[in-house]
Amino acid sequence: MRFAHHFLVVWILIWPGLLWSGLPEHARGTGEYAHDWQPDPMHEYWDPGRYHQPETGPVEGMFTGAECVECHTALTPGIVKDWRASRHARVDPPVQCPACHGEDHQKLTFPTPQTCGTCHPQRLAQMEEEKKYGFPSHALAMERVVDSKQFADKPKAETLSCLQCHSVATKCDSCHTRHRFDPAEARRPEACITCHSGPPHPDDEAYFSSPHGMRHTKDHKTWDWNKPLRPGNYPVPGCAYCHMRHGNHQVADKGVWKFGIRQINPGTAENRIKRKRWFETCADCHPPDVAFNFFRDLDRERTRAWARLYAVERLLKELRSDGLLRPAAKDRPPDKLDLLARWWPRARIGFYEGQASAFYNVGDIERDYFEMWYFSNTGAFKGMAHGAVTMSQRFHDRLRVEEEAITQRAQRLRDLGTIMRDGEVEPLWTRGTYTRFNQERN
């Protein structure tokens, strides 16, 4: 009864503050298109450094950690239980609530990476160092999404799933779930595949299809995940062992092929340094010739993939030069956030023309190529990069099928172009009641 009474009193004091917290009424977006979108209330959690507003409820005063724990044992017992199981609670003196949230109940905050960095400066510095390598990178993940005009143009409720992963740049609990912050949990592949899964980045399939992943699936329950990421501590590596060697929170320093979506010259000084880092990582478990053969096979796979991709790019660029892409760029709904495209409509084909930012407002054949390049090509690369050779070959088979389908579609467009020049037919999208109706109302 005393516990129930304690809980009731605390809840009466706290619930008005929960209602009063949230984003300011006129909060604005961030990034390149900051003036074109307004954040959803969930942004307070995805990007707390920019959007979190302290609660201003009836509870006032400065509170010690012990007082916080006493109150929240009744109010949020699960949070307190997780904290008690964490290393924060076991050090002397313990790291209690005020260290992360502040002690003034009218100014409580959500922690940011900078908050964590007050006690973990080395890890914060390692993560920030990623920025010098550009994309892809954990440290630049939020910038990547808010600088996309598609993100600014979409309803925020539709883009929250994007932010759930891209918020890895703005809060640490993407990998270290609060309030336990257990390193053993973050070392497991499952912590990474929460985000690294799906068509654009099938790392989950690649890892679990590899010899490493199959061994993990078989006996990972017998491993001691409390051990640091050091040679000899694990029978085979998980994601963090290779990509965060020795616990280094800089995960972009070995990215030799940029996710596979961009062709890279392996002989540049930067890539030779990155490859040397991978050789050192592989040498924890394998003799030098294993790593050498691995990179030989990976380079050959990339050569095969890009030869096929460039062949399709040339095909699409020829269609564009001959005015055969349908609908033509000038006939598509204008993108209100792309001023250049409104004044100079042009189909953008391939990575270097910016296809990644143009895959919404495209014709069918361009979308087919985008999926070939971004999904099937990525699967082929990810499979080989993780040693899942069978998976890589399966995606190469898909690349071949897609190339053939795009070639056939291109021929149909050429045949249609011939018919149009002979004046035998006027396609629906160039003139007619349906087209006029939509042009007047778009």
In a domain, 361, yes or no: yes
User: pLDDT value at position 22?
Assistant: 58
User: pLDDT value at position 432?
Assistant: 55
In a domain, 368, yes or no: yes
Q: How many domains does the chain have?
A: 1
In a domain, 382, yes or no: yes
Distance between CA atoms of residues 165 and 182, nearest Å? 19
In eight-state DSSP terms, residue 27 is -
In a domain, 346, yes or no: yes
Distance between CA atoms of residues 205 and 134, nearest Å? 25
Cβ atoms 73, 83 nearer than 8 A: no
pLDDT tens string for the chain (442 positions)? 444 444 444 444 444 444 334 566 667 889 999 988 888 888 899 999 999 988 777 889 999 999 999 999 999 999 999 999 999 999 999 999 999 999 999 999 999 999 999 999 999 999 999 999 888 899 999 999 999 888 888 887 788 888 999 999 999 998 998 999 999 999 999 999 999 998 889 999 999 999 999 999 999 999 999 999 999 999 999 999 999 999 999 999 998 888 888 888 888 999 999 999 999 999 999 999 999 999 999 999 999 999 999 999 999 999 999 999 988 888 888 777 888 888 888 899 988 888 766 677 888 899 999 999 999 999 999 999 999 999 999 999 999 999 999 999 999 999 888 876 665 555 555 555 555 665 566 5
How long a stretch of residues is the chain? Answer: 442
In a domain, 341, yes or no: yes
Distance between CA atoms of residues 284 and 380, nearest Å? 26
Please state the φ and ψ torsions of residue 104, each to the nearest 5 degrees: -85, 115
pTM: 0.86
SS3 315: helix
**What sign does the dihedral 333-338-343-346 (CA atoms) show?**
negative
In a domain, 337, yes or no: yes
Instruction: Please give the helix or strand (H or E) that residue 189 lies within, else none.
Output: helix 189-193
Please state the φ and ψ torsions of residue 54, each to the nearest 5 degrees: -60, 145
Cβ atoms 44, 52 nearer than 8 A: yes
Which residues, including other chains, have CB under 8 Å from residue 74's CB and lie 6 or more apart? 3, 6, 7, 10
Outline where 247-363 has alpha helix (H).
269-282, 288-321, 339-343
Instruction: Tokens 């007050």: give the residue.
Output: 118
Distance between CA atoms of residues 24 and 163, nearest Å? 19
Distance between CA atoms of residues 254 and 240, nearest Å? 13
User: pLDDT value at position 239?
Assistant: 95
**Which candidate, 93, 54, 57, places its Cα nearest to that of 75?**
57
Domain of 415 in residue numbering reads as 288-441
In a domain, 280, yes or no: no
Which residues, including other chains, have CB under 8 Å from residue 351's CB and lie 6 or more apart? 261, 262, 263, 373
In eight-state DSSP terms, residue 86 is S
What would the two tokens of residue 199 be? 């068509």
Identity of the residue numbered 141: A
User: pLDDT value at position 303?
Assistant: 95
What would the two tokens of residue 94 be? 């313990």
Which residues, including other chains, have CB under 8 Å from residue 342's CB and lie 6 or more apart? 334, 335, 336
User: pLDDT value at position 68?
Assistant: 95
Which residues, including other chains, have CB under 8 Å from residue 246's CB and lie 6 or more apart? 228, 229, 230
User: pLDDT value at position 72?
Assistant: 95
Distance between CA atoms of residues 95 and 97, nearest Å? 7
**What sign does the dihedral 289-292-298-301 (CA atoms) show?**
negative
In a domain, 257, yes or no: no
Which residues, including other chains, have CB under 8 Å from residue 349's CB and lie 6 or more apart? 313, 316, 317, 320, 355, 366, 369
**Which candidate, 295, 293, 290, 246, places its Cα nearest to that of 275?**
295
